[in-house]
Amino acid sequence: MRLLVLGGSSFVGRALVEEGLARGWAVATFNRGTRPAGDADVEAIVGDRLVPADLRPLAARDWDVVVDTWSGIPRAVRDSASVLARRAERYALVSSASVYAPPPPVDGDEHAPKVTASPDAEEGDYPERKRGAELALHAAFGERALAARAGTILGPRENVGRLPWWLARIARGGAVLAPGPRDLPLQFVDARDLARWLLDAAAAGRSGPYNVASRRGHATMGALLDACVAATASDAELVWMPPGFLAHQAIEPWSELPIWIPPDHPFIGLLAIGVERVHAAGLRTRPFEQTVADTWGWMAGFDELPPPTESTNPVGLAPERERQVLAAWRAYA
Ligand SMILES: NC(=O)c1ccc[n+]([C@@H]2O[C@H](COP(=O)([O-])OP(=O)(O)OC[C@H]3O[C@@H](n4cnc5c(N)ncnc54)[C@H](OP(=O)(O)O)[C@@H]3O)[C@@H](O)[C@H]2O)c1
130-138: average pLDDT: 98
Going from the Cα of 94 to the center of ligand 1, the distance in angstroms, rounded, reads 9
Please name the residues in contact with 1: beta carbons below 8 A apart, sequence gap of 6 or more.
20, 23, 25, 26, 64, 65, 203
Percent of the chain whose predicted confidence (pLDDT) is above 70: 99
Alpha helices (H) in the chain, listed in sequence order? 12-22, 75-84, 126-141, 162-172, 191-203, 221-232, 243-248, 276-280, 288-299, 319-332
Q: Which atom belonging to ligand 1 lies closest to the Cα atom of 9?
A: 43
pLDDT in the model for residue 287: 98
> From CA 58, how far away is CA 307, in angstroms rounded?
30
Does the beta carbon of 150 lie inside 6 Å of ligand 1?
A: yes
Return the axis-axis angle of helices 162-172 and 221-232, rounded to nearest 10°: 60
pLDDT in the model for residue 312: 63
Percent of the chain whose predicted confidence (pLDDT) is above 90: 93
If one residue of 70, 158, 271 were mutated to test the ligand 1 pocket, choosing by the most ligand atoms within 8 A of its CB, it would be 70
pLDDT in the model for residue 302: 83
Residue 308: pLDDT over 80: no
Ligand 1, atom 38, lies closest to the CA of 32
Phi, psi (deg, nearest 5) at residue 284: -115, 130
Find the largest Cα–Cα distance for the chain.
Answer: 68
Domains of the chain: 2-153+190-212 (3.40.50.720)
Does the beta carbon of 187 lie inside 6 Å of ligand 1?
A: no
> From CA 82, how far away is CA 139, in angstroms rounded?
9
268-288: average pLDDT: 98
In this prediction, residue 199 has a pLDDT band, given cuts at 50, 70 and 90, of: very high
pLDDT in the model for residue 317: 97
Residue 44: pLDDT over 70: yes
> From CA 67, how far away is CA 267, in angstroms rounded?
29
Does the beta carbon of 46 lie inside 6 Å of ligand 1?
A: no
In this prediction, residue 282 has a pLDDT band, given cuts at 50, 70 and 90, of: very high
Ligand 1, atom 42, lies closest to the CA of 7
Going from the Cα of 8 to the center of ligand 1, the distance in angstroms, rounded, reads 7
Question: 6, 70 in Cβ contact below 8 A?
Answer: yes
Residue 67: pLDDT over 70: yes
Going from the Cα of 70 to the center of ligand 1, the distance in angstroms, rounded, reads 5
151-176: average pLDDT: 96
In this prediction, residue 56 has a pLDDT band, given cuts at 50, 70 and 90, of: very high
121-147: average pLDDT: 97
List, in sequence order, every residue forming a beta bridge with 145; answer none if it has no partner: 91
Q: Which atom belonging to ligand 1 lies closest to the Cα atom of 311?
A: 1
Taking CA atoms, 271 is separated from 78, 214, 312, in Å, by 30, 10, 22
Q: Which amino acid is at 32?
A: R
Does the beta carbon of 310 lie inside 6 Å of ligand 1?
A: yes
Going from the Cα of 57 to the center of ligand 1, the distance in angstroms, rounded, reads 20
- The β-bridge relationship of strands 43-46 and 26-31 is parallel
Does the beta carbon of 207 lie inside 6 Å of ligand 1?
A: no
Question: 156, 294 in Cβ contact below 8 A?
Answer: yes
pLDDT in the model for residue 276: 98
Please name the residues in contact with 281: beta carbons below 8 A apart, sequence gap of 6 or more.
197, 201, 206, 210
175-187: average pLDDT: 98
Please name the residues in contact with 61: beta carbons below 8 A apart, sequence gap of 6 or more.
2, 87
pLDDT in the model for residue 309: 72
Please name the residues in contact with 232: beta carbons below 8 A apart, sequence gap of 6 or more.
167, 170, 171, 296
Q: Which atom belonging to ligand 1 lies closest to the Cα atom of 35?
A: 40
Going from the Cα of 222 to the center of ligand 1, the distance in angstroms, rounded, reads 30
pTM above 0.95, yes or no: yes
